């Protein structure tokens, strides 16, 4: 039984789907009744709507993902599968966007110790996963078959969230390209990022280098140096305020 879903039965967060009920049947199978999210996965939504969204809308979406994550972390869980496809977006009658983080299949209590995923594991294929989970991806061609372990920490979700943010700001292709580069070039963390910064600036979406540089800590290979969901909310809310002020009629 996924205890995070049980915890969400009694907790309300507008950016997580709600557990409406759960039970166990005669065969000892668990059944969970979830709130229906009347929307689309974020990747599908963006593929149709990206050109209609402004930077402020994109930041609003990213901040709502973080509100959901913050709640999961406050419940002492880690989502472990943060990606665009596990965020859904509903649009209300006023064309407001409402994000819900879904899919807690892989969620784990914080501080659990797990065996690292091997590169040939189905789950380890994701380029958006942090190096502590899949250390083998960070060295060319060398598989770690050892019993290496990692501790489940919120910083895992933060690393994955960073690529959601990059996908929102500069498109899935650029985000994936840079992420792959970062995996190959683990010893050279600051260098690969410089190229990414300039492609972001060229995209015209983001010009505040200081903001980008504080965000980049989210993918630091040392998990302890990554910001918390709260820290990122603070940065992105300030960023959004600046963007909104710049677009206010004089």
Ligand X SMILES: Nc1ncnc2c1ncn2[C@@H]1O[C@H](COP(=O)(O)OP(=O)(O)O)[C@@H](O)[C@H]1O
Binding site for ligand X (CB under 6 A): 17, 34-37, 41, 85-86, 102-103, 105
150: closest CA among 161, 141, 159, 142?
A: 159
Q: Taking the complex as a whole, how short is the minimal distance between the CB of residue 101 and ligand X, in angstroms? A: 10
* Residue 213, binding choice from Mg ion, ligand X, none, Cβ under 5 to 8 Å by partner class: none
Q: Which two tokens stand for residue 48?
A: 């149709």
Rounded Cα distance between 185 and 137, Å, is 10
Based on CB atoms, which residue is closest to ligand X, 82 or 215? 82
Which stretch of DSSP H or E encloses residue 74? helix 55-74
* Residue 84, binding choice from Mg ion, ligand X, none, Cβ under 5 to 8 Å by partner class: none
Residue nearest to ligand X (CB): 103
Q: Taking the complex as a whole, how short is the minimal distance between the CB of residue 73 and Mg ion, in angstroms? A: 19
Q: Taking the complex as a whole, how short is the minimal distance between the CB of residue 183 and ligand X, in angstroms? A: 23
- 91 sits near Mg ion (criterion: CB under 5 A): no
Rounded Cα distance between 57 and 62, Å, is 9
Residue 85 near residue 42 (C-beta atoms within 8 A): yes
Rounded Cα distance between 30 and 105, Å, is 13
Selected binder of Mg ion within 43, 44, 91, 103 (CB under 5 A): 103
Strands (E), the chain: 19-24, 30-34, 40-41, 77-78, 87-91, 97-101, 108-109, 113-115, 149-151
Give the binding range for Mg ion (CB under 5 A) out of 81-89, 140-148, 228-236, 242-250.
81-89
- 86 sits near Mg ion (criterion: CB under 5 A): yes
Q: Taking the complex as a whole, how short is the minimal distance between the CB of residue 105 and Mg ion, in angstroms? A: 7
Q: Taking the complex as a whole, how short is the minimal distance between the CB of residue 90 and ligand X, in angstroms? A: 9
Which stretch of DSSP H or E encloses residue 116? none
* Residue 34, binding choice from ligand X, Mg ion, none, Cβ under 5 to 8 Å by partner class: ligand X
* Residue 37, binding choice from ligand X, Mg ion, none, Cβ under 5 to 8 Å by partner class: ligand X
Other C-beta atoms within 10 Å of 141: how many? 6
Backbone φ and ψ of 15, nearest 5°: -110, 20
HEC string of 189-238?
HHHHHHHHHHHHHHCCCCCCHHHHHHHHHHHCCCHHHCCCHHHHHHHHHH
Q: Taking the complex as a whole, how short is the minimal distance between the CB of residue 87 and ligand X, in angstroms? A: 9
Give the binding range for Mg ion (CB under 5 A) out of 59-67, 85-93, 152-160, 222-230.
85-93
Q: Taking the complex as a whole, how short is the minimal distance between the CB of residue 103 and Mg ion, in angstroms? A: 4
Based on CB atoms, which residue is closest to ligand X, 105 or 121? 105
Give the binding range for Mg ion (CB under 5 A) out of 1-9, 84-92, 111-119, 219-227.
84-92
Summarize as ranges the residues that interact with Mg ion (CB under 5 A): 86, 103
């Amino acid at each position: 039984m996924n205890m995070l879903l049980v915890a969400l039965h009694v907790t309300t967060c507008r950016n997580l789907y709600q557990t409406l009920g759960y039970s166990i049947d005669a065969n000892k199978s668990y059944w969970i009744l979830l709130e229906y999210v009347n929307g689309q996965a974020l990747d599908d939504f963006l593929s149709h709507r990206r050109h209609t969204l402004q930077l402020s809308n994109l930041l609003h979406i990213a901040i709502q993902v973080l509100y959901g994550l913050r709640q999961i972390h406050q419940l002492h869980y880690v989502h472990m599968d943060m990606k665009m496809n596990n965020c859904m977006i509903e649009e209300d009658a006023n064309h407001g966007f409402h994000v819900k983080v879904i899919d807690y299949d892989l969620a784990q209590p914080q501080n659990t110790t797990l065996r690292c995923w091997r590169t040939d594991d189905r789950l380890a294929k994701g380029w958006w996963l942090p190096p502590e989970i899949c250390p083998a991806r960070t060295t060319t061609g060398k598989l770690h078959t050892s019993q290496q372990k990692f501790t489940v920490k919120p910083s895992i979700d933060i690393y994955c969230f960073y690529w959601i943010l990059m996908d929102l700001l500069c498109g899935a292709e650029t985000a994936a390209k840079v992420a792959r580069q970062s995996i190959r070039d683990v010893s050279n963390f600051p260098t690969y990022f410089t190229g990414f910064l300039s492609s972001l600036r060229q995209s015209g979406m983001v010009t505040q280098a200081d903001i980008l540089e504080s965000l980049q800590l989210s993918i630091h290979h040392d998990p302890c140096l990554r910001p918390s969901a709260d820290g990122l909310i603070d940065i992105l809310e300030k960023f959004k305020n600046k963007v909104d002020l710049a677009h206010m009629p004089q």
